[in-house]
Amino acid sequence: MSSPLILIAIGIVLIAVAAAAVLLTHSDGKGEALDPPESRRVGTALKDRPVTSYPSDSASDDSSAGGLLVEDAPTDSPDLGVPDGDADGDLLERDRIDEEFERIIEEERPTFSGRLGRLRGVFSGYVGSILSRSSIDEETWEELEEAMLRADVGVNVTTELLESLRADVKKRGLTTPQELLDALKVEMKSRLAGPTELRFAAEKPTIWLFVGVNGVGKTTTIGKVGRRLTDDGLTVTMAAGDTFRAAAAEQLGTWAERCGADLVRGAEGGDPSSVIFDAVASAAASGKDVVLADTAGRLHTKGNLMEELAKVRRVADKGAGEVTEVLLVIDAVTGQNGLEQARKFAESTAVTGVVLTKLDGSAKGGVVLPIRSELDIPIKLVGLGESALQLVDFDADAFVEALFESVD
């Protein structure tokens, strides 16, 4: 039954509402001052759009058809865009992809630490200053704390780490700043380390589900993971489970096309569970190895959307194959809210790992520390750049070293 607090809580809401009601009399029309009047009907504006707009694209066409659409990999569907629409698209298509990836294919798949260069600088300023002193003093501790807070590690973990470090200093008699830094690195590495392997199901198809808040890069991550898998010779089906965001399926479709994966999509606004279920069925029927299931971005505070996600997870497991990974995608720029995100997503979908995206920016992604140490969710993949090859396995050692590395 409902919690005994619910009625009380509702009662409190009612009081507030009572307060609002009291104020209502006094504030007629205030709503208008703050809120624009209701906009006019959409239809009228559609007339003056000879410009360039093409009101209904394929997405809405599908929704009127209602059904599911399976697009085979080397599709020549016009809206997914082969550049010059040539008939023998297959060859051209490959050319285009090659061109696109040329600049990075030239190199080896980049190493984690090699790509982390930009992470230097946060800690390094502090590190230089810390190392320049002859002993460990209060300022040393303050600077360490600042460095960690600025990397979004968060107050709790920072305090914890520094306290255990202080104990360490006493116990092991550390005296130089260098020893101190080394001890901190060891501690951070051991906290962050964890399995990075992405597991496969015993029986095909393996299902990997991607979840996260809006705008973290779920769809892009799926594209990149798809590319990795197909490069390794595996066959992939992508499930366009984001039926909410406009044109999300098109975006995934572009990626599917790029890496030669199938795409299964449903109607915009349709039920994501059924799209993913159908994708699994389709993958099973055609003997595909892996299903990469996209989901709509959602804020972890929205109970109904989180329930929907839990259902997606359950339904995905019902057909052939098995969900072996639920990957939570987190943007490196995220602050302390990332921990709450991880907590809530883990509750509803039993997250198996974190993908940290956009680490090629100036953000440090330190929030993975509390996620790893407080929720025990391993960090599995890291996005270090725009191209597919720049999605690499997480490497705790390299991550920590890069944080501390000084600029040469």
Considering only residues 220 through 259, tell me which ones interact with other proteins, judged by CB under 8 A.
220, 244-248, 250-251, 253-255
- Give the whole-angstrom CA distance, residue 12 versus residue 15: 5
Question: Binding to other proteins by residue 331, rule CB under 8 A?
Answer: yes
Contact region with other proteins (CB under 8 A), list: 51-59, 67-75, 200-208, 388-396: 51-59
For other proteins, which residue of 74, 83, 114, 128 counts as binding (CB under 8 A)?
83
Burial letters for 279-297: b for 16+ Cβ neighbours within 10 Å, e otherwise?
bbbbbbeeebbbbbbbbbb
Question: Binding to other proteins by residue 25, rule CB under 8 A?
Answer: yes
Select 213 or 402, whichever has its Cβ closest to other proteins: 213
Q: 330 has which bridge partners? A: 356
> What is the greatest pairwise CA distance in the chain?
78
Shortest CB 41 distance to other proteins, Å: 7
Contact region with other proteins (CB under 8 A), list: 82-90, 200-208, 313-321, 387-395: 82-90
Question: Binding to other proteins by residue 333, rule CB under 8 A?
Answer: yes
What is the gyration radius of the CA atoms in the chain, in angstroms?
25
Residue 43, SS3? helix
For other proteins, which residue of 90, 146, 271, 322 counts as binding (CB under 8 A)?
146
Shortest CB 392 distance to other proteins, Å: 17
Select 17 or 285, whichever has its Cβ closest to other proteins: 17
382: left (phi over 0), alpha (psi -120 to 50) or beta: beta
For other proteins, which residue of 38, 108, 376, 408 counts as binding (CB under 8 A)?
38
Question: Binding to other proteins by residue 64, rule CB under 8 A?
Answer: no
Select 137 or 340, whichever has its Cβ closest to other proteins: 340
Cβ-based burial of 163 (10 A; exposed 0-12, middle 13-18, buried ≥19): exposed
- Give the whole-angstrom CA distance, residue 352 versus residue 161: 25
For other proteins, which residue of 17, 91, 350, 407 counts as binding (CB under 8 A)?
17
Helix (H) or strand (E) holding 286: none
Question: Binding to other proteins by residue 20, rule CB under 8 A?
Answer: yes
Q: What is the DSSP letter of 371?
A: H
Considering only residues 158 through 177, tell me which ones interact with other proteins, judged by CB under 8 A.
none
**Encoded amino acid at 61, one letter:** D
Shortest CB 321 distance to other proteins, Å: 27
From the CB of residue 202, how many other CB atoms can be counted at a distance below 10 Å? Answer: 8
CB 209 within 8 A of CB 323: yes
Shortest CB 290 distance to other proteins, Å: 21
Question: Binding to other proteins by residue 5, rule CB under 8 A?
Answer: yes
For other proteins, which residue of 151, 211, 264, 402 counts as binding (CB under 8 A)?
151
Question: Binding to other proteins by residue 303, rule CB under 8 A?
Answer: yes
Contact region with other proteins (CB under 8 A), list: 18-26, 175-183, 195-203, 272-280: 18-26
CA 86 to each of CA 18, 81, 300: distance values in angstroms, whole numbers, following the listed order? 67, 11, 44
Select 56 or 135, whichever has its Cβ closest to other proteins: 56
Question: Binding to other proteins by residue 91, rule CB under 8 A?
Answer: no
**Encoded amino acid at 145, one letter:** E
Shortest CB 10 distance to other proteins, Å: 7
For other proteins, which residue of 33, 106, 134, 135 counts as binding (CB under 8 A)?
33
Helix (H) or strand (E) holding 326: strand 322-331
What's the distance, CA 44 to chain centroid?
A: 39
